[in-house]
Amino acid sequence: MKYRIEKDTMGEIKVPAHRLWGAQTERSLRNFRIGTEKMPMALLHSFAHLKKACAMVNHDLGKLENRKKEYIIRACDEILTGKHDAEFPLLVWQTGSGTQTNMNCNEVIANLATALPGTDKLQVHPNDDVNMSQSSNDTFPTAMHISAVIEIEDKLFPALSTLRTTLADKSKQYKNIIKIGRTHLMDATPISFGQEISAWVAMLDSNRSQLEDTLEYVRALAIGGTAVGTGINAPPKFGERVAEKITFSTGKRFFSAQNKFRALTSHDALVTASGALKALAANLMKIANDVRWLASGPRCGIGEITIPANEPGSSMMPGKVNPTQAEALTMVACQVFGNDTSITFAASQGNFQLNVFKPVIIYNFLQSVKLLSDAMHSFNDNCAIGIEPKQQKMSENLANSLMLVTALTPHIGYENSAKIAKTAHSDKSSLREAAIKLNLVSGEEFDRLMIPKEMVFPKK
């Protein structure tokens, strides 16, 4: 392999000749050989949006010459196409401020800008030009927030909406199919299958609303705070101007954080948003569990619905089919719960003017967003779309339920109704037979009072 010599304040170091990164990136690669988790590309692309905006503002304020601004913009635009993703190899487990990733971006942008056609040997410096008016301490949290908003709005919300639409359609389609309800995993009063699914729809609506609320805090950007929040070496209103540029380039609304000291040392905005992701994961866990319980069987379980049979379920039991999409979704939920715990603890560790757990916070946050987005698409396309009720089984379970006796309670009282249920259970008879046997209601009265549809849709 051919190498070139790069220099930084620590001295000279050999860098692979074909790579766009520089000395500080190379030092990080050598010094932090920990795990395999790399900085998410969503974060690095957000850095490109940020560096582009900073170059524009520095030029507008007379600090950066026009040619350097133009070449930095062109370099950032190339990075945003994904063409240079391989130039960002750094691992999550590095300096807690993300300095080396900030410098990785600065170096790649500077070398790419310098190498672009037409530069006429113009030298773009990673610190003096690309990092002008900035510090890793304000750029990294800014990129964290940009990537969080973009990934939630562009990836997670569409996935959530797709699943929500599927379930809403099924709720309407099956609104008049009456089945037994269940509480404590035990028989309860009747419900329609559409009503049961409507709860899932309402959960997803609530989750979206919660996430939208939390994103309002994430839209605040730390840029302009520089090293400790004072804004040293950044011109006045730098943060406000950069936030405006980023809003324009991303199409997402951002604004400058009112208190930069908080923005550098506190990550409560991402903790709050992660909590909303965890709430979504909790609801998806419940939905997936309901689906696999209702589909259990096919002969010895509840078996009230069918779901798509996507692949063989056993290496030794022929013909077995398992609720694999539900299993994948619930595993994702478990991972999101764990990620939220890590984010919460890491965010609590801000000391004085800086939190130095930033890489692990954003890595786990973006992983939660991606996993939830992918899992909702997969669950929708490979399971939810194919959910169908087994109406005969639902009707059989409904007819066999002892909890229908609840309809008699207003007429004969709780204790007499309980006697009917207990007698039917011990005698293995129907509620009607037990009621007549106990002489508590006549057959005609029972038939008039025991109408499951009116229990599901009570008259107002």
Is the bond leading into 359 cis (omega within 30 degrees of zero)?
A: no
C-alpha to C-alpha distance for 174 and 240, rounded to whole angstroms: 52
C-alpha to C-alpha distance for 57 and 36, rounded to whole angstroms: 36
pLDDT at 116: 87
CA 251 to chain centre: 20
C-alpha to C-alpha distance for 273 and 211, rounded to whole angstroms: 6
pLDDT at 121: 78
Q: Are 10 and 16 in contact (CB under 8 A)?
A: no
Q: Number of H helices and number of E strands within the chain?
A: 18, 8
C-alpha to C-alpha distance for 92 and 207, rounded to whole angstroms: 29
pLDDT at 458: 86
* Residues identified as active-site: 184, 314
Name the DSSP letter for residue 11. Answer: E
pLDDT at 210: 98
C-alpha to C-alpha distance for 217 and 257, rounded to whole angstroms: 9
CA 7 to chain centre: 41
Q: Are 216 and 208 in contact (CB under 8 A)?
A: no
Bridge partner residues of 183 (DSSP): 186
Going from the first residue of the chain to its last (460 residues), give the mean pLDDT of each consecutive group of 10, the final group possibly shorter: 94 97 97 98 98 98 97 98 98 98 98 87 95 98 99 98 98 98 97 98 98 98 98 98 98 98 98 98 98 96 96 92 97 98 98 98 99 98 98 96 96 97 96 96 96 89
Neighbours of 351 (CB within 10 A): 8
* Domains parsed from the chain with CATH numbers: 3-132 (1.10.275.10), 138-217+260-391 (1.20.200.10), 401-456 (1.10.40.30)
Q: Per the confidence metrics, is the pTM higher than 0.85?
A: yes
pLDDT at 395: 97
pLDDT at 118: 79
